[in-house]
Each structure stands twice: as structure tokens, then as C-alpha cells.
Chains A and B, each alone.
Chain A
Amino acid sequence: MQTANLLPLVLVIALVAYGLAYLRSRSVASPLGGIRHLKALPFYYAARAALWCAIPSLLLLGIWAAFEGKVIQDMVMASLPEDMAPTSAGEASLLLSQISNVAAGKLDPGFVPQPIVGAADQLQVLRSQSSEFKTTLVVLIAVLGATFAWTRVQPHINARENVERTLRWIFFVCAAVAILTTIGIVFSVIFETIRFFGKVPVTEFLFGTAWSPQTALRADQVGAEGAFGVIPLFVGTLLISAIALLVSVPIGLLSAVYLSEYASRPARAVVKPMLEMLAGIPTVVYGFFAALTVAPFIRDLAELVGLHASAQSALAAGLVMGIMIIPFVSSLSDDVINAVPQAMRDGSLALGATQSETMKNVIFPAALPGIMGGILLAASRAIGETMIVVMAAGLAANLTANPLESVTTVTVQIVTLLTGDQEFDSAKTLSAFALGMLLFLVTLVLNIVALKIVRKYREQYE
């Protein structure tokens, strides 16, 4: 049976085990005078039966699915005659794909040597055997687990503890998935980064002021030398993020203050969802808003006062990005401002403070850690944002602090490096991973620093 079909089957068995254990616990309890004479409620006996039934068999199923293919392949390859044994990894994969194509009927057996046809037959036999064996074993373990649990439905056995402990592990595994994913991402980037630094020195990457990653594909090509200085990209990123934060932090924060302290209930009910809707607009839409509406407007405006602005500018991208992240700041700040106890407000108001004095002197300091969190989230959104910048700020890696010029960012470069044709042994492609790693480290440091600041200046109420 296929794994996809086995999974529901195991779940059905677990469900049956649940029901049976439940009924049995009740029937065990009734001669004693009710379920209060059991060590645990019937639910726990039933849940334990379901868990003991499902967990071992699902574990087995997972392990089987992970190793099945590899083991069968090795067995098939071993069955080939001596003179056909592959000498290189490439040859082996070619052979394997021939064998599996014959087995799947995609390749006419007449076109390939006889041993391969034999191997294909064996492949099919092994696969069906494995499948049968797997089905039998998984169902057997599920039934055994359920039966064992069923016999353990006894009034003096405390199933509650088993269930609680198992649940704890399940929760732990869920939490671990998130952490492991992060670690996995770091590792996926780190090795390519190290390869990149084998081609380009770290110092050149970190302190170079020119970025033009056009390496030659052939040795005789013109312009073979690429430049991998990351500074223009980081300056571009910081410039755009700074503009975005300059827009979003004041507007977001003050709108949060309005929402939580001044707005009447009906006004709040309308304004808050509207603000949060900004977060739901796809960034591509923001992108063409920036590129087609804001950027030309800025250029015209700049020309009006006698300044030169390029068609794509950091200012346009930053402004629109700022609008995009307003809800991150306002929504989170609103929540933390609301969480400040009413007693604090009353205390301040009763001393004759006005609403804005209360806000500034009492509520704001108390809510600061949470507000910082919101701003940080907004900052990391700004640093990581790509689409708006691609469309509105351009691709030219200019080293400039002038917001009217076009700049590019780290994320945009990663996108351009990794889309289209690429080869994974050129410095051009590998530099994307180094950029990603750097971006990751920078945001990590930003987070740690902010956490430290928040912890130091937190004003704790109770």
C-alpha cells in the first residue's frame, strides 16, 4: 500500500483504539461505582490508546519512507553483473534512471542491454515486496500498540501522566521544528558563502566600494573582472530603510496613540481594520504604485525646485515602503498601549495631567518595550523588502546618500543574481549567498541590540 494511503489507515486504527479504550474504561469503572474510582478520566485512557497506536507506527512509516528508495537502489545496483558496475557517480545515476524508466514502461526494453531489463524487473519486485512488508508491519504495530493500551485500561493505572508527558513531547517537537528550520537555513547559506570567500577575499567583499558582479563565463570574454564590494548595496539598503522608518514610525506611532487614547469606539472600529488593510496589499501593487505614481511625482517636484532626480529614486521606494509598514508599527503599538493598566492613566489624570501629558510621561514609557518591538519588526520588514525596491529604486549600485538618485539594495541584488541562468561555481552566483549571510547577521545583531536596549529601559508596572 502507498504511504499516502497508509497514513489515513493508521489514523482510523488510532480512532478505533480511542473508542475501544474509552468504552473499556467505562465498563471497568461501572462495577467499581463510577469513573471517579479510576485513576484517570476515560478520556485519558482513550487518548493514551490512540497515542500508543499512532506514534510508533507513524514513526516506522516515516523511517521506512525515508530509507526505502536508497536501500532498494543499492540492492538493484548490486544485482548488476560485474562488468556493468558503474565507475563514476554520473554513470551510476544514468544507469539508475535507465533502470527506473524501463521499470516504469517509459523506455522500450528492446533498446537497452539485457542486464538492465533484469534489473528493472527486480526493481519492480523489490518495490512491491517493500510496499507489502511496510503495510503489514505498520498495521501490525498499530494494532499491537492499541491492544497493549487496551489491556492497560485498569483502574489503578494512571493514564493521565502518560498522556501529559507525551503531549509535552509533541509540543516540544513542534517548537523544535521552528528552531531547526532556522538552523537549516543558516547552514544552507553558510557553505556557499565559504565557497564564495574562496574566490573573493572577505576584506574586498566587506570594504569594497564598487559592486558589479559581471564575471566572464569564458576566459577570453571582455570585462572578465567583477567587483564585489558590498558597501554600495548596504548604503542603499540603509538609505531606503531609513526613509521608510522616518515615514512609518511617526505616522504609525501617532495613529496608534489616536486609536488607543483618543478615538471613540465607533471610530476605532472603522479606522483600525482600515489601517491593517495596508498590510494586506501585495508588495507588487505597492511597487507599481511607487514606480508609476510616486517616482514621477517626485521627479517633477524636484525639477520644480531646480533639483535633478532620476526616474527611479530611493525616495520613492522609501516613501511607499514606509506606507506599507505603517500597520506593523501602529497595530503592535496600539496593542501594547492598550495593555498599560487603566490605573496608570487614572493616577496621572487625577493629578491634573492632560491626556497628552499622561501619554508622554506615563503610558509611553510603560509601553516602550513593546513599541520598540513593533519598530524593529518594521525595520526588518524594510531591510528585507525587495519588490518595491526592484520596481522603484532601480538596479544601479550607486554609492550615494542622495535620496533622489537611484540605488539598489542587498535583497534586490540577491534576486537579480539568482534569477535567470546561473552556474554554481562562479563568484557571481555564489555572492548571492554571501549577501544573504551578511543580511542575516545584520538583522540578528539589530535584534540583539534592540533586546538589550529594551531590557535596560523597561519601566515595569507590577
Chain B
Amino acid sequence: MPEQRTAVVQEDRPAETVIEEGKTVGSPFADDPKFKLRNVEVFYGEQRAIKNVSLDIARNEVIAFIGPSGCGKSTFLRCLNRMNDSIESCRVTGSLTLDDQDIYDPKHDVVELRARVGMVFQKPNPFPKSIYDNVAYGPRIHGLANRKSDLDDIVENSLRKAGLWDEVKDRLDATATGMSGGQQQRLCIARAIAVSPEVVLMDEPCSALDPIATAKVEELIAELSESYTIVIVTHSMQQAARVSHRTAYFHLGHLVEVNETSKVFTSPEHELTESYITGRFG
């Protein structure tokens, strides 16, 4: 269970700045969006972690969520595949639709949702199984392969897309936990894309990796963006600038600004965004 973060008011926050609830500067909306999120609020018990956030996520875009620790970006990300369901005290309100289907409708099948919206976590979490079984895990539970050879193809394709095939093709039966951290994370990406999702959520996918492994994963994100919609939470502004098309800045549970990435990092509209990207807090 992720720790419940408490939002702390930053001392050096410009005193005159007031965040107007529900108001996001820039361009949060898109035509024909993949995800359409309106007035989303998330509560941990009594505490309101996400405050009236509305946002569109376009098809095949890479959108980065940035913001100081505890601003709610991970919480918001986990709403998109309902990973918050497993936290007992967590409650989500508002309208969240994926291709115009309400994903929080009680009748909506969460298994199907998660097959369409894959996720990669902060810390690589391969199962303590063989490399092959890790990638084949999703296809097996969703019945994507009728024959062994189909499954072999899926595993090979996924590993190729994750740029891992050449490194592991001779040891598919080796246990995944014996790989390096960067390889493990790319394996987790391969595992996520093996079920052919439409969206891939990434929760700080490089924060546990060294710079070289990080570069590889970022390269991979760029390649994957051709076929998937990618939502990435990151602490590294350079990373957001390198991989994303749009950037969303969260602050204390509010969505403050959404804009083209180049615009956010060169001429941010909101002064909080500017303070954050210039390193005045974070």
C-alpha cells in the first residue's frame, strides 16, 4: 500500500499565489481524447488528495505528470487503471472515461480495464519466475495465445519492443530477479505491453535506475509512443522535457497547468509552475 503522503505547504512559496480550485491554465483539453477526466477528486479517508482535476489525455501522446512530492500525481495516475481500488480507505469521485466508457461504473470490468491500461511501477517488480514466464503472465491470464508457438511469438515481440530480446534470448528460463535493475524495469515494460494495452502508465519508471539504464528506458518510451498512449509520472524535469509531448504540473492536489512540454519548460504560464521548474521548490 503506498504511503499516504501529506501535502506540506512549501515555506518559500510565493505568498501572493492562490490556487483557484478546479482552474487549470494552459490547454488541458483535447479533441477526441483517449481519457476524458472531469472533476476528479480522490479521498484517503477524510483527506482530499486530488482536488477537482479535469484533464484530457489524447491518443498516442506522451503526457508527463510533474510536481513536488505529495502533490498527488501518482495518486491521479493510479486512478486511470483503478489501482487505488485495493486501498481500503480510498474513494474516487468525478467522471473518468476511457473511449467514452465510464471506468468507475460498477459494471465496468476492472480486469478488462487493466488489460487495456497497463502499468509500470517505480521499483522494478518482476515476479520471481523465469523471464519467459514473466512476459507470458499477462497473455496467459487473458487467453491471448491458443498455442505454445503463439505465446512464444508474443514473448519474443514484447521483449524485442522493450529492447531486451538480444540480451536475454539465450536465457529465457533464467529467473528474472537475477537481472540488473535496468533490465528488470525493461522486462516489466515488456510484461506490460505483452497484453497489447492501449495506454501504458509509468509511475516514476526510472527513479530506481542508474543513468545508463535510464537513457535506455527513455529511448524505449520514445519508440513506444508510436503505438501507445503513455502517461508518465516523473521527478526529473529533464526526463519530462526529453520524452513527453505535453506536461501537466500538479501542486498540492491541484492540477495547476497543462501545456506543450516545450512551452512549460520555456515560458510557463502559471507562476507556481515557473517556481517549480526553476528549482525554487520541489
Task: Show the binding face of A for B, using Cβ within 8 Å.
Answer: 264-265, 341-354, 357, 361-362, 365-366, 459-462
Chain B 153-182 interface mask (CB, 8 Å, partner A; 1/0): 000000000000000000000010100000
Give the residue of A350, A352, A357, A461 whose beta carbon is less than 8 angstroms from that of B112: A352
Give the residue of A265, A342, A352, A460 whose beta carbon is less than 8 angstroms from that of B141: A352
**A357–B141 contact, CB under 8 A?**
yes
Give the residue among A264, A343, A460 with the most B Cβ atoms within 10 A: A343
Contact B138 A344 (CB under 8 A): no
With known contacts A342-B1, A352-B195, A347–B127 Cβ distance under 8 A: yes
Q: Which chain A residues border B43 with CB–CB below 8 Å?
A: none
When distances are taken between beta carbons in the complex, the residues of chain B under 8 Å from A342 are 1
* Residues of B close to A341: CB separation below 8 A: 125
Cβ–Cβ contact B177 & A461, under 8 A: yes
Q: How far is the CA of A390 from the CA of B245 in the complex (A)?
A: 77
Q: A361-B137, A460-B175, A461-B177 are in contact. Are A351 and B125 (CB under 8 A)?
A: no
Chain B positions 36-93 with a Cβ under 8 Å from a chain A Cβ: 81, 83, 86, 88
Q: Contacts A352-B114, A460-B177: A343 and B142 contacting too (C-beta < 8 A)?
A: no
Contact B141 A461 (CB under 8 A): no
Instruction: Check B131 for interface membership: any CB of A closer than 8 A.
Output: no
In the complex, residue of chain A having the shortest beta-carbon distance to the beta carbon of B123: A343
Q: How far in angstroms is the closest Cβ of chain A from B135?
A: 11
Which one of B126, B128, B195 has the greatest number of beta carbons of chain A within 10 Å?
B128
Identify which of residues 102-148 in chain B touch chain A, using a CB-to-CB cut-off of 8 Å.
111-115, 118-119, 121, 123, 125-129, 137-138, 141-142
**For the complex, what is the distance from the CA of A357 to the CA of B139, rounded to whole Å?**
13
Contacts of B111 in A (CB 8 A): 352-354
Q: Is B192 an interface residue (CB 8 A)?
A: yes
Is the pair A350, B127 in contact by a Cβ cutoff of 8 Å? no
Given the complex, which residues of A lie within 8 Å of B112, measured CB to CB?
A: 352
Which B residue sits closest to A264, measured CB to CB?
A: B88
* With contact pairs A342-B1, A352-B114, A361-B137 given, residues A347 and B128 touching in the complex (Cβ less than 8 Å): no
- A343→B86 CA distance, assembly (Å): 12
Count A-B pairs with CB separation below 8 Å: 77
How many whole Å from A238's CB to the nearest CB in chain B?
34
A340 → B minimal CB distance (Å): 9
A346 to B192, CA, bound (A): 12
Chain B hits for A461, CB < 8 A: 127-128, 177
If A264-B88, A352-B115 touch, whether A346 touches B121 (CB-CB below 8 Å) is: yes
A354 vs B123: C-alpha distance in the bound complex, in angstroms?
Answer: 22
In the complex, which of the residues B81, B125, B191, B192 contacts A343, with contact meaning CB atoms closer than 8 Å?
Answer: B125
Query: Closest A-chain residue to B109, C-beta based?
Result: A352
Whole-angstrom distance between the alpha carbons of A459 and B142 in the complex? 23
Q: Which chain B positions have C-beta within 8 A of A343? A: 121, 123, 125
CB proximity of A371 to chain B, nearest CB, Å: 15
Q: Are B83 and A348 in contact (CB under 8 A)?
A: no
Q: Determine how close the nearest CB of chain B comes to the CB of A344; give it in whole angstroms.
A: 6
B86 touches A345 (CB 8 A): yes
CA of A344 to CA of B129 in the docked complex: distance in angstroms?
11
- Chain A residues with CB under 8 A of B255: none
Partner of A344, one of B83, B88, B125: B125
Q: Is the CB of A348 within 8 A of B137?
A: yes
State how many angstroms separate the Cβ of B6 from the closest Cβ of chain A.
20
CA A348 – CA B128 in complex, angstroms? Answer: 12
Q: Are A350 and B81 in contact (CB under 8 A)?
A: yes
Most buried by B among A341, A351, A353, A357: A351
- Bound complex: CA of A111 vs CA of B29, how far in Å? 116
**A–B pairs, 18, beta carbons within 8 Å:** A343-B125, A344-B127, A345-B86, A346-B86, A346-B119, A347-B121, A347-B125, A347-B188, A349-B114, A352-B111, A353-B111, A353-B138, A357-B141, A361-B137, A459-B175, A460-B175, A461-B127, A461-B128
Residues in B neighbouring A459, C-beta threshold 8 A: 127-129, 175
Closest to A459 in B: B128
In the assembled complex, the CB of B275 is this many whole angstroms from the nearest CB of chain A, namely: 33
- Residues on the A chain within 8 Å of B125, using CB: 341, 343-344, 346-347
A341 and chain B: residue at smallest CB distance: B125
Interchain CB contact under 8 A, A351 and B88:
no
- Specify the chain B residue showing the minimal Cβ separation from A458: B128
- The 10 A-B residue pairs with the shortest CB-CB distance in the complex, in nearest-first order: A459-B128, A352-B114, A343-B125, A350-B119, A352-B115, A351-B138, A347-B125, A461-B128, A352-B111, A353-B141
Q: How far is it, in angstroms, between the C-alpha of A348 and the C-alpha of B86 when the chains are bound?
A: 12
Cα distance A273–B195 in the bound complex, in angstroms: 42
- Please tell me if the beta carbons of B177 and A349 are within 8 angstroms of each other in the complex: no
Question: Which residues from chain A contact B192 at a C-beta distance below 8 Å?
Answer: 350-351
**How far, in angstroms, from A269 to B138 measured CA to CA in the complex?**
34
Residues of A within 8 A of B114 (CB): 349-352
Other A-B pairs beyond A344-B127, A350-B81, A351-B195, 18, CB < 8 Å: A342-B1, A345-B86, A347-B121, A347-B125, A350-B83, A351-B115, A351-B118, A351-B138, A351-B192, A352-B138, A352-B142, A353-B111, A354-B111, A357-B141, A361-B127, A361-B137, A460-B175, A461-B177
* A460:B128 contact, CB within 8 angstroms: yes
Of the candidates A265, A349, A351, A357, the one whose C-beta lies within 8 Å of that of B191 is A351
Report yes or no: A349 in contact with B137, Cβ–Cβ below 8 A: no
Q: Give the distance in Å from the alpha carbon of A361 to the alpha carbon of B195 in the complex.
A: 17
* Residues from chain A with Cβ under 8 Å of B141 in the complex: 351-353, 357, 361
Contact residues in B for A346 (Cβ distance below 8 Å):
83, 86, 119, 121, 125
CA distance A345 to B128 in the complex (A): 12
Residue numbers in A under 8 Å from B88 (CB-CB): 264-265
**A250, B177: Cα distance in complex, Å:** 30
Q: Tell me the smallest distance from the CB of A342 to a CB of chain B, in Å.
A: 6
CB of B55, distance to nearest CB on chain A (Å): 21
A397→B113 CA distance, assembly (Å) = 62
Q: Which residue of B lies closest to A347 (CB)?
A: B125
Question: Roughly how many angstroms separate A460 CA and B130 CA in the complex, as a whole number?
Answer: 11
Q: How far is the CA of A342 from the CA of B175 in the complex (A)?
A: 20
The smallest beta-carbon distance between A74 and chain B, in angstroms, is 66
Please, which residues of chain A bring their CB within 8 A of the CB of B126?
347
Give Cα distance in the complex from A346 to B119, angstroms.
Answer: 9
Q: Which residue of A lies closest to B85 (CB)?
A: A349
Which residues from A are CB-within-8-Å of B142? 352
Chain A residues lying within 8 Å of B129, measured Cβ to Cβ, are 365, 459
Nearest chain-A residue to B129 (Cβ)?
A459
- With both beta carbons as reference points, the residue of chain B lying nearest to A353 in the complex is identified as B141
Chain B residues with CB under 8 A of A348: 127, 137
